[in-house]
Structure 1
Amino acid sequence: MIRRALALSLMLLFSAPQAAELFTLDFTVNGEKKTRNYDTANATFKGTSEDFIKLDFPNYNPYSDAVSIQLGYLGVGALLDFAQNSTDLRLQIPSLGIDKTFTGPTRDDAVLAMQAFFTSNGSEELNRVLAAINASSPVAAQPQLIQQQTNSAFDDSLSSQSFVAPSGGDSKSSSGGDGAASAAAFNSTGLGLAFGNIKYGEFRTKSLTVPLSYTIRNELDPRRQLVLSLPVTQTSVNTAKTWSVTPGISYSWPMNERWTLIPSLKYGITYSKDLNQAGQVLSGALTSTYAVSMSDSHVLVIANMYGRSNSLKFEANDVEVDANLKLNAFRNGVMYSQPVNLWGKNLAVEYTLINTVFTGSEVFVKRYNEVGVTIGTNRKARTSRDYIRGGIRYTFSSEAKGATFNFGYWF
């Protein structure tokens, strides 16, 4: 199963994206029809202005001609109407029960008023749908904020157990000294790169993440680790770009040689000028890991996490969003680590199988599974001050499918 998933991951990772349109305008003016597609919200609203309509309908009279426009806005269908001899713009979104009229001295002024409605929290239900349920959302659908916080809180906890050698593992250093004492002499800085290509609904997203971290180890017990993290992500849907930053903090608290509890707290902020979308999310999580030594440095780690994420009101650059999302995250998985010798080097391979389920507010992706493998230097070696790992992860559910390649270096 893992081999098949990894082969599919490589195919999806490097496959050409199948573009779906983020924004569409289907015009009907004096019986004539025209269609335009856009990748940014601002270009879409400009497309309904007098000058742009005249590009396709040269004889268009902005004061007397009736205009009907079917608007596709990030998966939300709407109908725009200018009645004959009127500058009033009627907006109807049947799926949300929205029926609103915008007025102005000119039709272009009415369009500006409608644009403000879309970007300035004009409808709580519209903002919730755009932020949570549409497949291109930078808050809850793309690999941004909520998913990123949930995944990283769990993955950091699972990864930290690679350093832990339960009874029967390499609890002594090669020099014969105590493993805890030799590891306590240094902290570590982590740098990485992750590239993802995942299809959410009809939209294929590409993401580039630079995860930064700093780990402070307790001098008496190096299993006690305070980790400060700062991943920075850029996501692209067609040509629309989104940026996010997610600082976080976690602490590994060993209950005994095998069992560790890791509480974490993360804050994330995302903004997309192209999509007219933004958001901020605060999340907390508690992860439990249990490490079992198999034989010859083979280790099985069982991990379970509960997390809580709340979206916060966001205002910036004329964009105001209050999606009011409240989510519970349940993430459970296993990691199996085994030593290998490749190219004359002693390395370690780690296999992961993870399931994630969200409850609470409605979101586009409510559950997904992940299968992954990484290979690199042995992170358990107590005398190693630096190590390197790289691998691939395949994500799949009924709403999402794709792969992420990741690479990390700690020193």
Structure 2
Amino acid sequence: MRAAIIILWMFNFFTLASFGGDFTNLYPGARANSMGSAFASIADDPYAVFYNPAGPVQIRTAQLSSGMARRITKYGDMADFSLAYSRPLPFKERGVFGFGYDALRHSQLGNRDTFLFGYSDTLTLKYLQLPMLWGTNFRIVSLRYPKKSHFGIGTDAGVIFRSFAGLRTGLVLSDLDTGMGRSFATLTIANSYRYEDTVFAMDLRVRGGYAEFFPGIERSFHNDLFRVRAGKGININGVDYLALGFGYNLDPLVCNFTYSLPWDGFKSEAGTYEISLTYKFDAPSFGQKMVVEASQRLAELNSRIEELNKQKNSLEVEIAKYQTGKGILEGDLAIMQNRLIELQDKVRTLEIEAIDAQFKKSEPPLVKKMPVKPKEIWPKYHKVKTGDTLRSIAAQYYGNQNFWQIIYDANQDKIFKGLPAEGAMLKIPPPAK
């Protein structure tokens, strides 16, 4: 997106042609003219009615603008006086009425008076789900040359498409007048892109066989209190301009100034000076606006905090559930571990009973009297031979085969399935008393 904007910006050095010295393409508005008239996709003040009749719908309070300009040409000075008014219609949810008047006066080139009556509204494109602003003007134009005069009526039509990425596109078909002696029909294709506090604007204006590209830029400072602007000004009498300007937003009063310099330098007899004032009826002052914006910001932050607290509480509830589940699982695990120990004891008991049953089945019981023996040294060790059993070993060392469990307890790791491993060295502890 930014690359495309830069490419279009560079394109202004390769315009198809120029509007030459035709003063009929000049329109008022210090803000618009300080951006080189690249205003058709922005169009958000009362002078929008001159640049794109779809723009006034963005104005939500009644506003009145007035301006004066002095344009210096090689044929003499040109005076320009203008009025613009926008008012939301009370019986329409979004509809806005716009009015514009512009008076151009030049002793040699001629005079022009333009009256505009406009209506603008908004709609949402069904399939794209993007807002579209639209508007139309009814025009009355009086054009008086030194030797001939024309009076005509006509219309303008325009749309503005807004995306969610800060890009705006405007299309305008203007100056569709009758009775003017020739066609002044103009097609304007405009784009603008907002990046933080900076707006880049580009208008391509085509009339008949002429086309010219107008780039402009606007930067706001200090919470939109102050704005600076620059652009490529409209060519008058074959002279190209660098347009510069600034504005103060002292709500409900807005002041805009513009000053254009010819590319050839200060010595050229060319330039434009313009001032316009806008008053916003029923609009809060700048201080009140800041308080309202701060309150809205505070409300947004409080709403965000409340949402985060709800998320926190939800997470705490989930954590409590998990901890409860963890406790239940730990209790189940402890029960299963106890059952495992009990089963291991039962297995051990069954192994002992199996050994006892095997002996009773394979060998008759040996009954021997325990002879009196001298004091012996314990423990002793016995290497298991083929055929040895725990009972036979117990009988060998203790004289009683029923003492086999003493040997079993001392050598569990060397006894498998009730029989000692052949070749294993068994520890023979002293007999129990």
Given the two structures, how large is their TM-score scaled by the length of structure 2?
0.40
Pair member with larger Rg: 2
TM-score by length of 1: 0.42
Report which of the two has the higher share of helix.
Answer: 2
Higher RCO by CA contacts (8 Å cutoff, separation 6 or greater): 1
